[in-house]
A = this chain, B = another copy of it.
Amino acid sequence: MVAIVQKLEKTRLSAEDWALAALDVIAEQGLAAVAVEPLARRLGVTKGSFYWHFPSREALLVAALERWEKTEQETVFGQLEAIPEPRARLRALFQLVAHELKPHVIYSELLKALDHPVVKPVLSRVSERRLDYLTASFRQAGLGRIDAQNRARLLYAAYVGFLQLSLQLGQPRLHHDEFDAYVNHVMTTLIPE
C-alpha cells in the first residue's frame, strides 16, 4: 500500500520518467542538450540519482529513442492500414510524414544528430521499414521489382532530403502554400496515375 501512495503522489521517479523527460529535451533543444545534470534539475533531483535508473547517459538515450520508435511506428503505420488503394496510401504516407507532428520533430532532431552512435540504428530501422512499405506499395501499384525499389528510394529520399534541406536552410520550413505546391509536384512526378 505504500507503493500505491508513492505512485499517486509521484514522490519518486521511474526510468520511464527520465526517458520521457529526455524525449522532451530532444524535441525542444536536440539530442546534444540531453545532459544528466540539467535533466536532474528539471526533475527536481540531483544528478547522482540518475545512475540508480540508468548505467549511463547513453543508456538513457537508447531507452528514450526506443520509446519514440515504438510510438512513431504506431502513429504512422496505424493510420495507413485503413487505406486499401496503393496510390492513395503512398500519398497519405508522404503527407503524414511531411507534416509536423511531434514524432516528426524528433525525427528531424535525430537527422541532425546522426553523428551520435545511438541514433543510427534507430533511424536505420525506421527508414528500412518505411522503404519496404513504399516498395510494396509501388509494386501493388503495378511497377516491376527493380523500378519499385528505385522509385521507393527516390520518394523516400525526396522526403528525407527535403526535410534535411529545410533544416539546413534554417527556414522554419517553407510557407504552407509553397510546401503544398512542392508536395504536389513530388506526388504528380513520382506517384503513377
A interface residues with partner B (beta carbon < 8 Å): 30-32, 109, 111-116, 120, 123-124, 127-128, 131, 146-147, 150-151, 153-154, 156-162, 164-165, 167-170, 181-182, 185-186, 189-190
> Judging by beta carbons under 8 Å apart, are A164 and B161 in contact?
yes
User: A181 is contacted by which of B116, B146, B158 (Cβ under 8 Å)?
Assistant: B146
> Judging by beta carbons under 8 Å apart, are A154 and B115 in contact?
no
> Which of A146, A156, A161, A164 gathers the greatest number of chain B CB atoms within 10 Å?
A161
A154 to chain B, nearest CB (A): 6
Which chain B residues border A186 with CB–CB below 8 Å? 150, 154
Which chain B residues border A185 with CB–CB below 8 Å? 147, 150-151, 153-154
Which chain B residues border A120 with CB–CB below 8 Å? 167-168, 170
Which chain B residues border A131 with CB–CB below 8 Å? 165
A34 to chain B, nearest CB (A): 11
Copies per complex of this chain: 2
> Judging by beta carbons under 8 Å apart, are A154 and B158 in contact?
yes
> Judging by beta carbons under 8 Å apart, are A168 and B31 in contact?
no
Beyond A124-B170, A150-B181, 5 additional pairs, beta carbon < 8 A: A112-B113, A153-B165, A156-B161, A157-B157, A160-B160
A94 to chain B, nearest CB (A): 12
Which chain B residues border A164 with CB–CB below 8 Å? 111, 114, 157, 160-161, 164
Once bound together, how far apart are the Cα atoms of A161 and B31, in whole Å? Answer: 21
A130 to chain B, nearest CB (A): 10
> Which of A111, A157, A189 gathers the greatest number of chain B CB atoms within 10 Å?
A157
Query: Would you list 26 pairs from A and B whose C-beta atoms are within 8 A, ordered by A residue?
Result: A31-B115, A32-B116, A112-B113, A112-B115, A113-B115, A114-B168, A120-B167, A123-B168, A124-B168, A124-B169, A127-B165, A127-B168, A150-B185, A151-B189, A153-B182, A154-B158, A154-B185, A154-B186, A156-B165, A157-B159, A157-B160, A157-B165, A160-B160, A160-B161, A161-B162, A161-B164
